[in-house]
Amino acid sequence: MSFYSNFRDANFKASLSELEKSEQLHNIEIVKYYQSGCRDVNELLNKLQSLDNSPLRQYNLAVLLFYKENYGAALSYLVSLRDNLESLSEYIGIKACILLTETYIAMDMRFEARSCIERLENHDAFVSYLKDSPKLRYFAPLLVGAWIEETPQEDVNAAEYWLVVNILKCRFHLMLSESEPAKKALAQADIAWSRITNQNYENELFKTLQTQQIAIKNYLIAEIAYTEGNMNATLQQLNQAQIEILPLLGEKQAHPSCIPSRERLSHPIYHYNNLGCVHLRLGKPRLSRFYFTKALETLKAHTPVDVSKPLCTVTYHSSQRRADLLYNSALALLNSFKPKHALECLQEISPLMQSKPLYWYRVAECYVMMHLKTLAAGRREMLSDVCLSQTGKKYFLPSKVNYAFKEDEEKEQESLLEQAAMCLRNALSLCKEDEMKVNFLLLLCYVCMNTQPQCSLSSAQLLLHMEVTDSQRFISSMYASEALLILGKPRQAIEYLSHIPKDIKLKCHSTLSTAGAVFTEEVSSKFVQSINLSSAHLHAGNLPNAQQALNSALNYYNLTFQPAAQPSQPVPAPILNLAIYISLKMGNHAQAESFLRSRHIYAGMAYPKPSDTNSCR
C-alpha cells in the first residue's frame, strides 16, 4: 500500500515509514500532526513555515490559519496563490480561489468577495478544466476533504464546482441582505446537486458530501427567511435540517465538522447559534443567551478529535466558532442591559474582530450603556434627596455636596465616554458604507457632547449633509443645537431648531429607569423640538419666546387645564424644570413654588411678574 492509502485508513505508522523513504517533509509533518491526535496546530504551523516554499504548502498553511480564524495571515498566502495561478495546477488554483472567497466573506470584504466569485465563474482555465465524468474512477472533491489518489491529474466534477460557486454566491448575497438573488443562486445550486451521483465518489466521502449539502441547503433557506424577517419559517427550516440529516448519520453523531455534544444533534454549534440569533431578533435576549451558552459548551478544548478518517474529519479548529459565538453573546447581553459582561465578551475576541467596524461600534455601545447606568443611579439619588423637609413656606434642599457626583465618579464617566469616542473613531476609519457611518456618527455626537462639543457639532453637521432618514436628520439637528448651546451660541442653536417641518414619532431614552436603558412611550418630534427651543430661548435671554415654545410643548403633550379638584396629569421633568426656571427668571417665586408643590402646569398659562400678581389680588 502507498503512504496515501495508509494515511487515508489512519495507519499513520505505516504511512510515515513510506514517506521517510522519499523524504517528503511536508507530508511527514501532516501525518505526524494527525498521529498526535491533532493536539497542537501551532506546532504544525511552525514546522510547515520552516519548510521550502511550494503551492501545496502555502495552501495548507492557509487552511490551518483559516480554521484558527487568523484570516489576515491566511489571506496573505491565498492572495499569493491567486496572483500566480498560471504556475499552479488547476485543482490547487480552484481550491485556493474557493478558500480566498471564504476568507473575504469572513472578513466582510464585499468588493473583493464579489471579484473572487466572478473569477470562479469566468476564469477560462477553471471552466475548461471541469469534467462531466472522471478519467479515473473518482472525482477529486471540492466541498469536503481531498480524497484523491496519487495521480498527476485530478478531475473536478463540473456539477460539484457549480454547486460550490452558487453556494458562495448565495452567501454573498445574504451578506448584502439581498434575499431574491440569494434564492436564485440557491436554486442553481440545487440544479447542480441533482447532477451529482454517488458512482463518481468513494462511498464514505459521498455520504459526508450528502450531509454537508443537506445542512448547507437548509441553513441557507433558514438564513434567507431570517433576512426577510420571517422568524417562524427560520425556526421551521432549522428543525427540518435536523430531520433530514439525522437518518443519514446513523447511531453516532457522525458529522466530522462538529465536536460531539451530549445531545444527538447534527451541527450543534450552528444549530444553537442560529436559535440564539432568532430569539434575539424576537426580543428574547435571555433565551438567546441560553442558546449561545449551549453552543459555547460544545467548544470545550479537551474534546478529542476523531482522526480515524483524517481526510474526511476536519480538526477541532474548523468547529472553533468561539469568536462568533462570543460576539453574538455580547449582543444578547447588551439587549439584557448588561454592558460590563458584554464588554468582557468583546474584549476576549478583540484580536480576531478588531478589523471590523461593527465590532468597535458594539464596544462603544457597551461604554455608553455603562455611562447611562451610572448616570441613572446618580440622578435617582439626586431626585430622592429633593424636598426632604418643609418648614412653613420654605423648602430645604440638601447641600449640593450630598447629591453631586464624586470627583472620581465624574472622572470615571468621562473615561467611559472617551473610550467610546476612541472606539467610534476606529469604526469610522474602517467603515466604507455610508449607512453604517450614519449610525457611528450619531453615537459619536452623543458621546462627545459634554467632553468635546465642537467634535459633536462637526459630526452633526456632517450628518446633515448626508443622505439620512427623517428621524436621523431630526436627531442630528437636536445634537447640533445642543452642542451650540454648550459652546455658548444660543442664536445659532435657535436657527437649527426652527427649521424642522416634519412631525416624527420618537421613543426617548430614559436614564432614570432601574434598568438604566429603557424607552418611554412614543412622543412627537415637535414636542422635543419645542422643549429644546424653549431652552435655547432661555439661554438667549428671550423669555417671551421661551414661554411660547413651552406652551407649544404642553399642547403637543396634551397637558390642558384641569380643575383643582381633579388629579393633575403627570408632568415630564423637562417641562417642570422649564416652567420653574421661567417663573424664577420672571421673579415670580410664588408661582415657581406652586409648580414645585402641585405640578399643576397646562398649555396657555401665564407667567406674570410679581407686580402683576399683586395687582390681580
Instruction: Name the pairing type of β-strands 518-524 and 389-391.
Output: unpaired
- DSSP of 402-420, one letter per residue? HHSPPHHHHHHHHHHHHHH
DSSP symbol at 390:
E
| pLDDT winner (highest mean) among 28-37, 39-48, 319-328, 448-457 | 448-457
- HSE of 506, CA atoms in CB hemisphere, 13 A: 22
CA 27/CA 7 separation, integer angstroms: 10
Phi, psi of 510 (to 5 degrees): -115, 125
Q: Select the more confidently predicted residue: 357 or 37.
A: 357
Give the per-residue pLDDT at 459: 93
In a domain, 134, yes or no: no
Number of domains, the chain? 1
Give the per-residue pLDDT at 306: 63
Residue 403 scores a pLDDT above 50:
no
In a domain, 539, yes or no: yes
CA 246/CA 233 separation, integer angstroms: 20
Q: Select the more confidently predicted residue: 203 or 359.
A: 359
- Contact criterion met (CB below 8 Å) for 247 and 258: no
Residues 6+ apart with CB under 8 A from 513: 376
Task: Say what the pTM is.
Answer: 0.77
- 162-166, 232-236, 285-289, 607-611: range with lowest mean pLDDT: 607-611
In a domain, 571, yes or no: yes
Give the per-residue pLDDT at 508: 61
b/e code 384-403 from CB counts within 10 Å (16+ = b): eeeeeeeeeeeeeeeeeeeb
Res. 390 pLDDT band, cuts 50 70 90: very low
Instruction: Count, in order, helices (H) and strands (E) of the chain.
Output: 30, 6
CA 108/CA 553 separation, integer angstroms: 45
Residues constituting the chain: 617
- Contact criterion met (CB below 8 Å) for 74 and 89: no
Question: What is the phi-psi region of residue 347: left when phi exceeds 0, alpha when psi lies from -120 to 50, beta otherwise?
Answer: alpha
Portion of the chain with pLDDT greater than 70, in percent: 79
Average pLDDT over residues 314-325: 60
Cα Rg of the chain, angstroms: 32
DSSP symbol at 109:
-
- Model pLDDT for residues 584-606, shown as the tens digit of each residue: 888 888 888 887 777 777 777 77
Residue 133 scores a pLDDT above 90:
no
Instruction: Name the pairing type of β-strands 156-157 and 130-131.
Output: parallel
Nearest 5°: CA angle at 18, between 15 and 24? 95
* Structural domain boundaries enclosing 560: 503-617
Average pLDDT over residues 300-322: 56
CA 462/CA 329 separation, integer angstroms: 33
Greatest CA span in the chain, whole angstroms?
115
- Model pLDDT for residues 461-518, shown as the tens digit of each residue: 999 999 888 888 888 999 999 999 999 999 999 988 887 767 777 766 554 333 433 4
- Contact criterion met (CB below 8 Å) for 474 and 464: no
Give the per-residue pLDDT at 65: 86
In a domain, 575, yes or no: yes
Q: For residue 553, which of 566, 539, 573 has the smallest C-alpha distance?
A: 573
b/e code 13-44 from CB counts within 10 Å (16+ = b): eebbebbeeeeebebbbbbbbbbeebeebeeb
- Model pLDDT for residues 551-568, shown as the tens digit of each residue: 888 887 776 545 555 555
Instruction: Report in angstroms the alpha-carbon separations of 144 from 310, 392, 551, 612.
Output: 12, 85, 70, 89
Provide the grid cell at 178.
439581498
Residue 252 scores a pLDDT above 70:
no
Give the per-residue pLDDT at 526: 85
Average pLDDT over residues 13-39: 79
Residues 6+ apart with CB under 8 A from 79: 100
- Model pLDDT for residues 135-186, shown as the tens digit of each residue: 777 777 776 555 444 444 567 888 989 999 999 999 999 999 999 999 999 9
b/e code 112-151 from CB counts within 10 Å (16+ = b): bbbebbeebeebeebeebbeeebeeebbbbbbbbebbeee
Residue 296 scores a pLDDT above 80:
yes
Residue 254 scores a pLDDT above 70:
no
Residue 344: Cβ within 10 Å count: 15
CA 189/CA 174 separation, integer angstroms: 15
CA 499/CA 41 separation, integer angstroms: 62
Residue 71 scores a pLDDT above 70:
yes
Phi, psi of 462 (to 5 degrees): -65, -40
- Secondary structure (3-state) at 130: strand
Residue with cell 436559535: 275
Residues 6+ apart with CB under 8 A from 250: none
In a domain, 423, yes or no: no
Give the per-residue pLDDT at 463: 92
Average pLDDT over residues 404-426: 75
Give the per-residue pLDDT at 57: 85
Give the per-residue pLDDT at 68: 78
Angle between helices 434-447 and 470-486 (to 10 degrees): 30
CA 530/CA 494 separation, integer angstroms: 11
Give the per-residue pLDDT at 249: 64
Residue 232 scores a pLDDT above 90:
yes
Res. 398 pLDDT band, cuts 50 70 90: very low
Instruction: Report in angstroms the alpha-carbon separations of 116 from 109, 438, 443, 541, 555.
Output: 11, 29, 35, 63, 59
Q: Select the more confidently predicted residue: 276 or 8.
A: 276
For residue 513, the Cα-to-chain-centroid distance in whole angstroms is: 25
